[in-house]
Structure 1
Amino acid sequence: MEVNISYLPDEILLLIFSILPSVDLLAVARVCKRFNDIASDGRVVRDIDLRKAYHYKTDDLREFFRPRCLTITHLNANHMYWIKFPALVEKLKNVQSLHMLGSSLTFKQLLSILKSCQKVEHLSITWPDDVKTNSFALVQTTAVRLRSLAVLVSQYPISLLTLLQYTTSLTSLTITNHHAPNLFAIPSSVTSPVKDLCLPNLTDLIVDHVGGSFSYRVLGRLVERVVEAAGSTAEWCTFWINTSIRIHMSSPLTTVVPKCKRLFLLVNTGVYEELKQAGQLPQLHHLFIDGETPQIHSLSPLLRSCSNLRSLHMHGLNITLDLRQVCEASPYLQRLSVCCQPQLGPVFTKAVSCLTHLTHLTVPVCALIGVLDEVKVEGREERSMREPFLKKQRVGVSSRENAHLATFNLVLDNCPHLVVLEIGFSGSRLSCSPKRVWWECLENIQKLTSLTHLTLDGVPITSGAFLIQIAKGCQRLEFLRLRHLGPSGNCTYLSHLAQALPHCYNLRHLRVEQNYLAPSTGLWTGLQSCQFLERLLVLSQSDGRELDLVGLDALISSLPHLVFVFVGGSHTPKSKCAAITKKYKHSNRAALVVLVRPGLWDVFEDSNTETRLIPPVHFNEMVTFRSWAFTSYAYPSMDNV
């Protein structure tokens, strides 16, 4: 039965509009006159989340904002890089939460926003590059009201420290920069009035890879001053310093560690000694440790004191850990990302299998070493020694009878709640002999029906048939990343990946980095079934043929939700790459970014100006290759991970 929405009572319409996503409200506002008549009601247009509004332009949002700008109190427009927001948000007089990370701003526009939106308490912005004068005294009234501030910096943001002098009510401060950190490095002689900072209410501090924007001396002094200003009165929640600075403080951890719930530390010998003196840490829920020490140190005693630990990330040189003791002390661990030595692979895997509440898991390739105790099987090395003339398994041939042998099956059976699974991200794969890795067990990932994020890096496979089984079993899979699987001289899984993609109905993001992917015609054909695909990255570093750019062009045209395409082939002519890139540079799809390149040796170099023009959200989450297990703590755009 069809119902004309125009004849429904206002009460029912208000209820319908209140539960609709913000993106749908934009569409309703275009076609429903009744919506515009009652839109002044604060219950209808109050909290607006536009992060998925890929099909709308600045004019569309201006038309939506104009009649209801006084009712909006919360606006999340993070990483909407194609929208010119400054002119839109200046009229939001009652906005309290304003998030605009990734949208370019000038210093004049920033001052205008702070003057107009005087009720804002939570602010997320990209710091302007043209700040030359310190005029923040004019917006002191707004700055004092700020409770949380998140800033994405690029070059020379020393003036940010001037603004922080006025934000005395700040409880949360986030400064991030993963985009081109070295090109904008400034001399260490640059000074700033850090001594005037006073943030007595700060409870959350995140300084994430900003060494290229601040000098190390200024950055270290900033962190030191913040901790000193907070003193013993602050109830610390997050202390996240993910940058290579040396903090010169008498006892920085004595003040911070006993109160934190989320803690990130770059460990050195001095930090390790202070950690041992921290005592019991029952309030610590999330611990991220990285770094190196000249001598071998075990963190097991420290972790035994963290009885309520929920997340653990530990990587570094000479930093060891008895995972069995950690599992006994923190049986309800939900996120785990650790490295191990190849000889400890089976012991490591058995310990992980005891953590039945895991939702996020990052392990090295050596976790696939070892077989179940009750299974008596002759290893590949022993068999080849006993039968030296036995023909080796051909590349591309799968041994499915070995899928049940690996110890890693215990993890797949005992951790059914896994949402994020990453295998790789560790140099230990270099010391793992392919003959010792029982990669066939990857087929059993299909048992993880709740899996949404899967990453496979450096696994020595000989066939990709397991990808088809995973695609059929993991129907919720949204993020898939494959890198350097199997031999470097041949891509052994491309045809299987093309067959698996039609089963990935919910796939949103695909990243494939491998040699000899060209021409990838089958891959483009398989991806046409993924109608919800938003981002695609394919890097073929060594090729004998050129990529099928005609098929790629047809793929881009057939996927309406696509917003980012980064494709590189070493044997593809530069003229063809430039032609398809230019075609989509001024297309009607404002959010779409297409970049096709012939050479890939400078993709991650700061001197590549073309790469630096990629929106930070795509560069950080797709171009660079980092773990998802802890990304959401530093990046608001990944809160759903």
Structure 2
Amino acid sequence: MMASLLGSGDEMNYLTERLSDETLLHIFQHIHTHDDFIRLSETCHRLNELLKDKDFCCRIFLPWYSNLRREMVFRFFRDRVRVAVISQLDFSDLYWLPSGIIRDLVTPMTNLQIFLAAGTCLSWAHLSQLLKCLPIKKLSWSWDNCLEESCRRRSSVTPTKFSEITEMEDAFLRLTSLLIHIPMMTKTPTDVLFYSYSALEYLVSLCLNLEELWFISWPKSSAERKSSSSSYSRREFDGLESALTKLHTLVISVKGPPRFSPMSFFRKLISTFGVVTPAQVFWCDHPLLGILNNETQYRLGQARYCWFPQICSETAVRLSYPMVAILEAARENFSYPKLRAVSLSCSDGEIGDHSVAFSKLTYLEKLSVSIDCLFEIRDSSLLSEYMTLQHLDDKLEATTDYKPEKMSELKPPSKKRRVGAASKLLVNGIPNKTDPTTGLHFIARRCSKINELELGYSGLNQAKAGRIVLESLSCISNFKFLRKLSLSSIPITNGKFLIQICSKCDIIESLRLTHLGPSAKCCYVQDLCQALPLCRNTLKDFRLEQNYIGSPLAILKALKKCSNIRRLLIWSSPNDHALEFEPVDCLFQSCKDLTVFYATIESTTKADCFKFRKALEARYKAERPALSIVLRRTLEEEELIHYPSIHYREIVINATQVCQYKDFSNFNS
């Protein structure tokens, strides 16, 4: 039936004319995205009328990868009866819609209360017009360059000089939730940064009724850290922390040294809360350990969180938290939080044994772990002994109200074997001689709900290749719910494990491979080309960073079979083969949803990169408005983690979470 609904207008009206409104709406509830509604409203007259219903069209969300033509979007929002009932609008990451068009589309929405526009090109001038005429209470927005330039022209950073912001005071008083996204600015002068963040602090100070305040920022590049002045990070407005008296949730999500550094403001703001509870302050990805005390860190780990939420989410926030301190506390107190996300790395070169803690994290969905930690988990004899005790404990809890008086009653023996020693797993009490014993195998058994997994080295203690059991990587195929996999800097000799993973993990959507094996030659290209077609129906995001991959032709041919792929990045520098236009063009023809294509192949000339990009945009830009193509001959690895830089919700997805920043000198202002 749904396939028939995608026919012509006459066929559509013939199929739906005898259906009741309830039946027709029930059918359309199986459509997942609003761009399909917009497309169907072009051909189905009855649906076009039903979409004016208040309960059916009050929430509108357009995905960034939508291939709707602009005229179709205009016609859908041109009906004033329909747009008047819209109360929630999500335009996040619609970078391909110009700012003026967004302003024109949103202005008639007189009942709009939630407006999510982070990641768009919406300018400050157009946003201010919307805030003046619409009753917006929840807002997400990307800090705009126009506002920075206007602040830069001021002779003083006194708040009274910011007329653009002061005129919006009444609109800011309505806001109860605010998300500020600081986009990537690679060539921003120091004075712009200084004035911009002063204006940012003043803007926040006017939002006296804020209940939720979110900051999401890209990290600084090394060039910015060298050229930027340290004075702007010390700038503050007295009394700002006391102005936000209604604030109960503060979320700061950055990766490494952030682009904004009003740390004195945050210290004072947190101190006004007194004893911080998990529902009040979240520091995603990299919490400033100097700000939050040990008690607060431990209490943050006791709650349940979700990952990268939307500003209007009514559920709990997901938190990716460096778990060394929390797991240590869990071992000592035998109280294990129901965490959904864990980022575990070495702490000052010391590696702890977290096997008991991982055995309790059965709700875990996202795991980022260093190989150094992974292979230090207790060996099989100790794990099997613990599993026996755990099995007995589960039976006792099911039949009685038994509670252990001491942790030692359930804690496995403290004796440890030699690091990296090979041993045999016990399956039902019988040694299993085929499977190697690794921490990864143990985690796969206990944390079976993991859907995001990242493995790599922390860089603090580079392990040798001899410590790695290559076959153990095949244990990743035991994660049946795995959707995202990232492997970084693992010394492999072949890619056979990739074939096994792609064949068994049949719902994998994202695959990211970074510097695997020797640096002088990519040793797994042939295996990778065999593995990619095995996930042809599910793979949407593929990222490859590897030296000397050879000719990209084989990889592009394998990717042609992945018809649902949307984002693709291939980086190979140095490399001895250039990128050719014909394979890339065939890839775009086969993959109708491919909208983000980034490639850096060193042997490709600068002229060819320019010519290929222009030709691809001329052929496919009309049918794919979100098309983003970047072809570069060279790209520094430090800049590489920022690409693609067009989706604010995936702001740290490319930077490894295994390599934790240890230098927080930028925050000590």
CA pair 320-92 structure 1, distance change in 2 beyond 3 A: closer
Q: Deviations over 1:61-119 (max 9, x none)?
A: 121111121011111110010013122112211111110111123322111110121x2
**In structure 2, distance between residues paired with 1:95 and 1:475:** 40
Q: Which residue of 2 aligns with 1:302?
A: none
Matched, 1:10 2:39: no
**In structure 2, distance between residues paired with 1:448 and 1:278:** 29
Q: Which residue of 2 aligns with 1:396?
A: none
Matched, 1:329 2:335: yes
More displaced 10-residue stretch of structure 1: 176-185 or 144-153 = 176-185
1:142-181 to structure 2, matched below 5 A, reads: 142-154=171-183, 155=193, 156-178=196-218
Question: How far off its partner does 1:207 sit?
Answer: 3.2
SS at match of 2:321: strand
Question: How far off its partner does 1:529 sit?
Answer: 1.4
Question: How far off its partner does 1:604 sit?
Answer: 0.9
CA pair 617-326 structure 1, distance change in 2 beyond 3 A: farther
**In structure 2, distance between residues paired with 1:441 and 1:180:** 36
Q: Deviations over 1:354-402 (max 9, x none)?
A: 5333222111112146863499xx999999xxxxxxxxxxxxxxxxx97
- For structure 2, list consecutive stretches of 5 or more residues without a partner in the other structure: 5-13, 151-161, 184-192, 308-315, 384-416, 423-432, 661-669
Contact 2:570 2:599 in 1 (8 A): yes
**In structure 2, distance between residues paired with 1:625 and 1:44:** 39
Q: Deviations over 1:129-178 (max 9, x none)?
A: 22234234444333222111111125524323333233211111112220
Question: How far off its partner does 1:435 sit?
Answer: 0.6
Q: Which residue of 1 aligns with 2:577?
A: 545
Contact 2:609 2:632 in 1 (8 A): yes
Question: How far off its partner does 1:322 sit?
Answer: 3.5
**In structure 2, distance between residues paired with 1:18 and 1:629:** 43
State the one-letter code of the partner of 1:570. Answer: E
1:34-183 to structure 2, matched below 5 A, reads: 34-67=46-79, 68-84=82-98, 85-117=102-134, 119-131=135-147, 132=150, 133-154=162-183, 155=193, 156-178=196-218, 183=224
Of 589, 594, 600, the match for 2:635: 600
Q: Deviations over 1:15-42 (max 9, x none)?
A: 4445533122111111111122333211
- For structure 1, list consecutive stretches of 5 or more residues without a partner in the other structure: 243-262, 289-307, 384-400, 631-641
**In structure 2, distance between residues paired with 1:451 and 1:342:** 31
**In structure 2, distance between residues paired with 1:495 and 1:282:** 43
Q: Deviations over 1:230-287 (max 9, x none)?
A: 5459976242456xxxxxxxxxxxxxxxxxxxx963224xx57x42599977964469
State the one-letter code of the partner of 1:267. Answer: L
More displaced 10-residue stretch of structure 1: 408-417 or 131-140 = 131-140
Matched, 1:313 2:357: no
State the one-letter code of the partner of 1:465. Answer: K
Q: Which residue of 2 aligns with 1:498?
A: 529
Contact 1:240 1:264 in 2 (8 A): no
Give the TM-score of the pair, scaled to structure 2. Answer: 0.74
CA pair 629-412 structure 1, distance change in 2 beyond 3 A: farther
**In structure 1, distance between residues paired with 2:434 and 2:583:** 37
Question: How far off its partner does 1:338 sit?
Answer: 1.1
State the one-letter code of the partner of 1:454. Answer: L
Of 590, 603, 619, the match for 2:625: 590
Contact 1:39 1:45 in 2 (8 A): yes
1:233-244 to structure 2, matched below 5 A, reads: 237-241=279-283
SS at match of 2:518: coil
Matched, 1:24 2:36: yes
Contact 2:585 2:616 in 1 (8 A): no
Q: Which residue of 2 aligns with 1:340?
A: 346
**In structure 2, distance between residues paired with 1:599 and 1:461:** 26
Q: Deviations over 1:292-311 (max 9, x none)?
A: xxxxxxxxxxxxxxxx9996
Contact 2:131 2:171 in 1 (8 A): yes
Question: How far off its partner does 1:344 sit?
Answer: 7.7
Matched, 1:576 2:608: yes
State the one-letter code of the partner of 2:213. Answer: L
Question: How far off its partner does 1:351 sit?
Answer: 4.8
Give the TM-score of the pair, scaled to structure 1. Answer: 0.77
State the one-letter code of the partner of 1:413. Answer: R
CA pair 558-621 structure 1, distance change in 2 beyond 3 A: farther
CA pair 321-284 structure 1, distance change in 2 beyond 3 A: closer
Contact 2:457 2:658 in 1 (8 A): no
1:78-477 to structure 2, matched below 5 A, reads: 78-84=92-98, 85-117=102-134, 119-131=135-147, 132=150, 133-154=162-183, 155=193, 156-178=196-218, 183=224, 185=228, 188=231, 191=235, 193=237, 195-196=239-240, 198-209=243-254, 213-214=259-260, 216=261, 219-227=262-270, 231=273, 237-241=279-283, 265-268=287-290, 274-275=293-294, 284-285=303-304, 313-314=321-322, 322=328, 325=331, 328-330=334-336, 332-340=338-346, 347-349=353-355, 351-366=357-372, 367-368=374-375, 372-373=380-381, 403-424=435-456, 426-428=458-460, 430-477=461-508
CA RMSD in angstroms comes to 4.0
Question: How far off its partner does 1:347 sit?
Answer: 3.7
**In structure 2, distance between residues paired with 1:172 and 1:493:** 47
More contact order relative to length (CA 8 Å, sep ≥ 6): 2
Of 509, 516, 520, the match for 1:485: 516
CA pair 12-137 structure 1, distance change in 2 beyond 3 A: farther
**In structure 1, distance between residues paired with 2:381 and 2:521:** 34
Contact 1:460 1:486 in 2 (8 A): yes
SS at match of 1:314: coil
Contact 2:440 2:476 in 1 (8 A): no
More displaced 10-residue stretch of structure 1: 410-419 or 77-86 = 410-419
CA pair 89-339 structure 1, distance change in 2 beyond 3 A: same
Q: Which residue of 1 aligns with 2:657?
A: 627
CA pair 343-92 structure 1, distance change in 2 beyond 3 A: closer
Q: Deviations over 1:584-617 (max 9, x none)?
A: 34521220111111112376189xxxx8995254
Contact 1:194 1:221 in 2 (8 A): no
Contact 2:533 2:561 in 1 (8 A): yes
State the one-letter code of the partner of 1:124. Answer: S
**In structure 2, distance between residues paired with 1:503 and 1:475:** 8
Q: Deviations over 1:387-437 (max 9, x none)?
A: xxxxxxxxxxxxxx9753434322222222111111115114x52111111
State the one-letter code of the partner of 1:463. Answer: N
Percent identity of the aligned residues?
23
**In structure 1, distance between residues paired with 2:67 and 2:77:** 16
